[in-house]
Each structure stands twice: as structure tokens, then as C-alpha cells.
Structure 1
Amino acid sequence: MTGPNGAGKTTLLRVLAGDLRPDTGTARRPARTGYLAQELSAAPPRRSLLAAFAAGLPGPPEEHAPVLLSLGLFREDDLAVPVTALSVGQRRRLELARLVTRPADLLVLDDPTNHISLGLVEELEQAVAAYRGAVVVVSHDRRFRRGFRGRTLELDGGRAVREGAAASR
């Protein structure tokens, strides 16, 4: 999904993710939806990186360290660092780690390439291409959009102004 700032992209994604109720009508979505918001939380949790990653999962946080470390996004030394002390890029990587390790039938990604390195963008592109569920992505990143192989929708003023066919490989 593309369009100028203020076109309604983030609002539509928030409705799809269940984070916002539609003004009218209804939105149906699968029970398992993974949502990556455009902006990071203004008040990061006051717990460690590992505790924040493991939040909502069964068992103690230490049980989830191998999974987090296997993603290659963090070093073992990072696990005890409070989330409040992480850089914006590290906090974004934490959100991506939580997203890719929880089952979802629908991924809703709002500008997923914000605050991450080019190498991680490339890995994200591969993960999105390999994902078997539905994916809805908003991105201003031209390179990321060129590689996306799904249908496109352009919004302006809260309305769809152009829809594109699925890209071919």
C-alpha cells in the first residue's frame, strides 16, 4: 500500500490489525494477526530485552533466549539490557523478533524498514517473500516496494485511487 503522508494508510492498517475500530462497517480478520506499527512505543517497557521478548510466552524468559539469539538480531550480552537503554534500531529489531516468532495468519507491517540496517531490510524482504500467510505492507522505501511481489493499492485522501496487479517474478 502506498500514498502520500496523511492518505489514511496507517489508519487502515490499524483497523486491519484490530488496533482501531472502523468509523463505519466492520473489519474481519483472522484471529492470529501480527502487527508491526510504524512508530515505536513512546514508553518502552522497563524490563530487560529478553523479558520484553518473552512477554506473553509460557515459561521463564531464560527459556526463550536461544530462540531470540538464533535470529541473529542480538548478542548474548544484549539480553540483560533494559529496553529503555536500547537504540531505536535495537527496539525495532526487538519488535521484528517478537513478530516473526509468534504464529500469525496475517502480517500487517507499517513501514517495516524504518530504523533498520540495509542487511536487515534484505532479510525482511526474504522473510516476507517466503511467508505463506497474507501480508499487508505500507512502505515509503522504493527499493523494498520494487521487490514486493503482491498486489498494490494506492491511497489518497482516505480512498483507494489505484490498484495494481500482482507483480511477476
Structure 2
Amino acid sequence: MKKGIFSALIIFCLLFSVYTMVFSQGNYNKIDVSFKDTVLVGKGGKFDLKGETFYYNNKLYAPVSTMVKVIDGEGLLNEKKNEISLRTYKDIPECNPSNGEIFVYGILMSIDFQNRELGIEQYLDDNSTKISSRLKVRDDVVIILERNNNKMNIDFKDLNVNDKVGIIFDRFGLVRGIIMSK
């Protein structure tokens, strides 16, 4: 009796393992590809992809993470939808007041490019936090220009006096993000 139960259990395990091997293949196909050493060039710089790119059916395939770096953008993975969203710009993380960050609106009155400082005339309302008119800008500041439904990153040197801006200050009082609307 024990040998019969043991034998049935072994047969069941073998059948289950064969079943899982057969049906676990899912969306995988074996293909023949030709690997190429490729250089990708874009706004984000020049990237040498030795052994990372390949050709299949006359199409070049490269890692998404590298493509995002080449366009100097951002890639967002949604694991629930099995979807990757690519942006051609780097977005600014939202202002986090519970971490001591502040968001203000204003107009640029002066720009000191050498010392990375801004002069601002702040737009105030009943809920505004008053800030100094001289603002120190972080080296890693993210600046976004918004026009209609389009966004793009610009450099600190592209700012102009009289630009209308939204500014995010980190908890140390330094500018970490600037949003310009045209």
C-alpha cells in the first residue's frame, strides 16, 4: 500500500514537472541574430554598445536603458501593464512640502550665470511662503520648458530675464527645479 502511494506521488511529480516545462515557455522564441558593435549618438552623448546590439530581420535592437540615455530622456516602467513609457525630457519630481520643500511662482528679474544665482519677483497670495529675492541654484537643477502639451529640458544658460517660472526649493533653500511656461 505504501509503495503504491509513493509510486503514485512520484508519477504525479514527474507529470507536473513535464507539464510546467512545456507550458512555461510562454512568449519565448529561439532566433538567429547577428551581433554588431554599434555606436549610438544623441543629445545625451556618444555610447559604444559593444556586444549589446544585434540585427534581426534587418532591424537593429538595442537596450531601452541605453536609448533613454542617448536621447537624454527618461524611461518609466509600468510592470502591471508590461509597458515602458519613454520621455524625451527628464521630469522634475513633485514638490514635497512634508520634506521641507517649497514651490513658488514668480518672474526672473536677474540672472548671475557665473555664481548660479537668480533674482526673482515672487507672486504672492494668502498661502504663499515668502522667500528671499536672491536664489542659489543647485548644479543638478532640472529646468523644463512647457509649451502647449510639449515639454523639453533646457540649460541654466538658456534662462532669460522676464521669464515666468515656477520654482521648487529643496529643504536647504536651494533651487532644485524650474518650470517655465511660454
Give TM class, smaller chain.
under 0.3
TM-score where L is the length of structure 2? 0.20
TM-score where L is the length of structure 1? 0.21
From the CA coordinates, give the structure whose radius of gyration is larger.
Answer: 2
More RCO (CA 8 Å, sep 6+): 1
**Which structure dedicates a bigger proportion of its chain to helix?**
1
